[in-house]
Amino acid sequence: MKKKVIAITMTLCLSAFVFGCSSATEETTAEPKTITVLAAASLTDVMGELEASYEANHPNIDLVFSFAGSGALQTQIEEGAPADIFISAANKQMDALNEEGLIDSGSIRELLLNTVVLIVPNNSELGLTSFEDVLNDGVNMIGLGEIESVPAGKYAQQVFESLGIWEEVEARANFGTDVRTVLSWVEMGEVDCGVVYATDAFTSDQVTIVAEAPEGSCDRVVYPAGIVGDTEVRDEAEEFLQYLESDEAAAVFESYGFTMAG
């Protein structure tokens, strides 16, 4: 009788062990959930660092980023491109998607702040020191983001309009599809100067910031973030957005020149 009890007990223990191992294996081998993030081009570098850190601590999550001008990303979402999170470089694009019912309105939050700056190649001899100086002799081409689709371009237009020189600037402007394109033009000397975000300039050792936009000359440069309405990973997307607001992420953002909006 005692032998039979021992045999039954051992069988039960073995079954529990096998079941436990099976559950653990299923948990560790489960396919990771993918979070697709459409983000403004100016976030390219900092998000690369945050992606590595987050995935290291969340092995069940696979972050996939797509960077472009905020207007282009808005169009992608409107046309049904796969997306779970949208991070814009201006409220305009986020507000438009929200009005169209394509963003979970309750998830929208102001994430970051930035600054508009005028940059020149390091070897520039034009002596520019202010936004007004873009009309100096010798400045033939000014790099700007496209006005309608690139927030940095719209902010630049506002700055130059506030100075009363927009029409003259527009006549000398070359318009890029995103702010990183403008940065590359300045780096390579393809334009004499350009208007980008301070954070873009900080990523390059080939350009010099010569001026910040005068206070009050353009809208507040805010980066809103929100969850796309038809996402299938809403909980995971919300958890990642909360991480982006954490002290850990804030330290990384600030090391790239951003300011936390909160």
Judgement on whether residues 231 and 199 belong to the same structural domain of the protein: no
What's the mean pLDDT when you consider all of the chain?
91
pLDDT tier for residue 121 given thresholds of 50, 70 and 90: very high
pLDDT tier for residue 220 given thresholds of 50, 70 and 90: very high
What is the structure's pLDDT at 29? Answer: 56
Judgement on whether residues 37 and 102 belong to the same structural domain of the protein: yes
Q: Is residue 51 part of a domain?
A: yes
Q: For the domain that residue 80 is a member of, what is the CATH number?
A: 3.40.190.10
Q: Is residue 20 part of a domain?
A: no
Q: Is residue 182 part of a domain?
A: yes
Q: Is residue 186 part of a domain?
A: yes
Judgement on whether residues 141 and 186 belong to the same structural domain of the protein: yes
pLDDT digits (tens, 9 = 90+) for 201-219: 999 999 999 999 999 999 9
Judgement on whether residues 43 and 108 belong to the same structural domain of the protein: yes
Judgement on whether residues 64 and 84 belong to the same structural domain of the protein: yes
What is the structure's pLDDT at 32? Answer: 87
Q: Is residue 122 part of a domain?
A: yes
Task: Assess whether pLDDT exceeds 70 at residue 8.
Answer: no
Rounded percentage of the chain residues whose pLDDT exceeds 90:
87
Residue 108, domain extent: 33-113+221-260
What is the structure's pLDDT at 127? Answer: 96
Task: Count structural domains, the chain.
Answer: 2
Q: Is residue 237 part of a domain?
A: yes
Q: Is residue 22 part of a domain?
A: no
Q: Is residue 9 part of a domain?
A: no
pLDDT digits (tens, 9 = 90+) for 12-71: 444 444 444 444 444 445 688 999 999 999 999 999 999 999 999 999 999 999 999 999
Judgement on whether residues 181 and 208 belong to the same structural domain of the protein: yes
Please state the three-class secondary structure of the chain as a single string.
CHHHHHHHHHHHHHHHHHHHHHHHHHHHHCCCEEEEEEEEHHHHHHHHHHHHHHHHHCCCEEEEEEEECHHHHHHHHHCCCCCCEEECCCHHHHHHHHHCCCECHHHCEEEEECCEEEEEECCCCCCCCCHHHHHCCCCCCEEEECCCCCHHHHHHHHHHHHCCCHHHHHHCEEEECCHHHHHHHHHCCCCCEEEEEHHHHHCCCCEEEEEECCCCCCCCCEEEEEEECCCCCHHHHHHHHHHHCCHHHHHHHHHCCCEECC
What is the structure's pLDDT at 111? Answer: 98
